[in-house]
Chain A
């Protein structure tokens, strides 16, 4: 089974909850996928001391303007990424924007004035954590298409399932609803949405929920930081109106920032804390689906 943890909004507790679920479900042979290549954090909570494997990943290309350029500016007119700048009269490609589509080369009247080259997208890394195998990725800053790194990570993790190294995947998705999140939920069996009781988080939860509908993935909800806004019923009302099951309410307590600072899962750090106890209950419930 493939379960993705997502939220839309960042910083609501996806990685905290995923790390604890990975630990609590390790006896069911889960593997963890950190699907946030632009801000990967799961390895910090799963106590990865060193990576067993690291490989460079090349998915996108990048354009380069050579000294054959006649400064005609045709490339600048077609670049939808606005990735071409003129500095001291010389056209240059801003490599932190370019996606290597090749439109500039196609319009360029001078042969060899623009070349399209393979460019590093980022790194894919694998580690054996104390609880489960982990695959993680890091986008090289300013590069496009982090979603392709995530798709590659999932290929690796699905390979583990085929080999029998793992039976189930827990995917910690990025914030947002863009390419990384779509790569995370495509092919997933279930989405656990994490939200906090604030209007912003509800707003993003709605967008995330629509995305799960769009891709036909069933969604469940965890209310995190329960109690920080006691009179607020926005999340409950939304869940009820859409028929989304609330599978847990994790209170906010001091153990949460403590565990993050100690770089441990909440379960290791403070198993008796109210937040940890609630996640244990959630894990037991999730185990029933596996």
Chain B
């Protein structure tokens, strides 16, 4: 079963919720935590783990074989990213940073072998065994690379190769297709938000996305006592449900800054109890 933690706004506590829930799930189930926040992955830091078993994420790019090229220009005309320009002599030339790796140029090229496969490195994935029942898959976008989507897809592929009962995904902030690709096919999506006008505004955007994907949203209101904005109207409008409210506490902050997950450092605290209740809700739909 796939469960996804997302939220729209950044810094609402997605990774804190994801890592704590992963540890609790792993007490009874084989669990994979997939850190799909490939631009800024932090689950390994919150779990005090190292990144291991590195693999490259490679994206196709065309290599033009000028001895075979007939200068027809079809590759340039069909490139949706305008990543191909023509030299004055009529040969194509690639602007690699614009290339999306879609292969359309190679597909439309009428000459066999005039466009060969080449690849560029856009990111890495890692696999870390956190404990007996918990594997962490991490995606890390290469710095300077614009496209996070291919690395998110690789995280998804690598996570799904694991044998597990629960696949728990932690997404990027935002609402674009690089979030949608991590969210789709989830049985349950938990949107972590905060009770401020900013949190609610971005929550509405992510609930809109879930509606499009026809997935019911569960909402966790983090730092529920930091402000008093009423999120219920938005939650109700999208048919979502608030499943937990997490107040601010010294324990959350301390475990966060010390790099020991709360459910391990303070297993008997009120907040650990709230995380256990969330896990119970997940178990009910398994």
Contact = CB atoms under 8 A, between A and B. Distances in A.
A37 B282 CA distance: 31
Interface in A33-66: 36, 38-41, 44-45, 60-61
A238 interface: no
B188 interface: no
Contacts of B170: none
Interface string A221-234: 00000001100100
Interface in B57-106: 60, 78, 80-81, 100-104
A11 B176 CA distance: 18
A80 B141 contact: no
Contact of B148 (A78, A98, A178): A178
Given A41-B202, A178-B141, A203-B42, A11 B9 contact: yes
A86 to B, nearest CB: 14
Given A41-B202, A96-B177, A80 B102 contact: yes
Contacts of B175: 38-39, 139, 141-142
Contact of B198 (A44, A99, A214, A258): A44
A176 interface: yes
A182 interface: yes
B184 A39 contact: no
A146 B257 contact: no
A103 B141 CA distance: 24
Interface residues of B, number: 63
B243 interface: no
A248 interface: no
Given A175-B173, A263-B197, A97 B108 contact: no
Contacts of A133: none
Q: Which of B60, B108, B173, B206 has the most CB of A within 10 A?
A: B173
A44 B101 contact: no
A1 interface: no
B180 A175 contact: no
Interface of A (DSSP majority class):
loop
Given A176-B174, A200-B42, A102 B202 contact: no
Contacts of A251: none
A61 B40 CA distance: 28
Interface residues of A, number: 66
Interface string B159-188: 000000000000011111111110010000
A258 B37 CA distance: 29
A147 B177 contact: no
Contacts of A175: 10-11, 39-40, 172-174
Interface in B4-50: 8-12, 15, 37, 39-40, 42, 45-46
B208 interface: yes
A144 B181 CA distance: 11
A260 B9 contact: no
B137 to A, nearest CB: 17
Contacts of A263: 197
Contact of A96 (B103, B104, B213): B213
A44 B197 contact: yes
B146 A94 contact: no
Interface string B111-130: 00000000000000000000
A107 B12 CA distance: 43
Given A101-B80, A176-B173, A11 B12 contact: yes
Given A229-B257, A257-B196, A38 B177 contact: no
B212 A96 contact: yes
B228 interface: yes
- Going nearest first, the 9 A-B pairs with the smallest beta carbon separation are A10-B10, A11-B11, A38-B174, A176-B39, A175-B10, A101-B102, A141-B209, A106-B107, A10-B11
Given A38-B179, A80-B100, A80-B150, 6 more contacts: A103-B102, A142-B175, A210-B144, A211-B144, A228-B253, A229-B253
Interface of B: 8-12, 15, 37, 39-40, 42, 45-46, 60, 78, 80-81, 100-104, 107-108, 141, 143-150, 153, 172-181, 184, 196-198, 201-202, 205-206, 208-209, 212-213, 226-229, 253, 256-257, 259
24 contacts: A38-B173, A38-B174, A38-B175, A38-B205, A39-B8, A39-B9, A45-B198, A80-B60, A96-B180, A96-B184, A97-B177, A99-B149, A101-B102, A139-B176, A143-B176, A176-B39, A177-B40, A178-B146, A203-B40, A207-B40, A215-B144, A229-B253, A232-B257, A263-B197
Interface of A: 8-12, 15, 36, 38-41, 44-45, 60-61, 78, 80-82, 94, 96-103, 106-107, 138-139, 141-147, 174-179, 181-182, 197-200, 203-204, 207, 210-211, 214-215, 228-229, 232, 257-258, 260-261, 263
